[in-house]
Amino acid sequence: MSDLESKLKNFLEELYYENWYSFRMKWVNPWYYPIKDWIFPHNELKIRNIPRSWSDRDERLFHAVFSMLCDFVEKEHPNGVKDLKDSIVEMESLLGKNPEEDTQLSHQLGRTRETVALYEWYTSVGKSDPNFWDQVPDEDVVKHEVFLQVHRKEQQWLALQDTMLKRCIDNRHCWWT
């Protein structure tokens, strides 16, 4: 074998071994990604904390948005919320004493803090849907004052859910990977 042939062979072997995965996927099996995406679709959303039976659309919408938030925190960051808290500390140290100097970083810092706060709220409080009628004794259910109190509590809970849902939707732009 000539010197040119051996150099060419060495070059091709090095090129193949450095990029074997992409060569294998692109040239050996061009149907890999279409078949994989058909078997394991990326456009399905598994909603947490909702029974598999019937549920209201507003409840599904609320839990769907927060399920995407939880998926982002738990799947995109290996250690979950701990990674986000570490990145907050790192961004704070980069900003130092002058947060006005780097507006992009300070904006990202605020969004990351909001993501952590929303995730912690949902995992501790938001995923439970309290039934305020279970807390009322049976003999008091017919009283008008009790009905108004329970209705007021339900309205406060729904208002809190709406507020958190709006905050979550406003914060969705930092969920890129």
User: Residues 54-86: pLDDT tens digits?
Assistant: 888 888 899 999 999 998 988 888 788 888 888
Q: Residue ranges of the domains in the chain? A: 3-39, 57-174
pTM above 0.75, yes or no: no
Rounded CA gap, 71 and 45, in Å? 10
User: Residues 75-126: pLDDT tens digits?
Assistant: 888 788 888 888 888 888 888 766 666 778 888 888 989 999 999 999 988 7
Rounded CA gap, 116 and 175, in Å? 12
Rounded CA gap, 70 and 21, in Å? 31
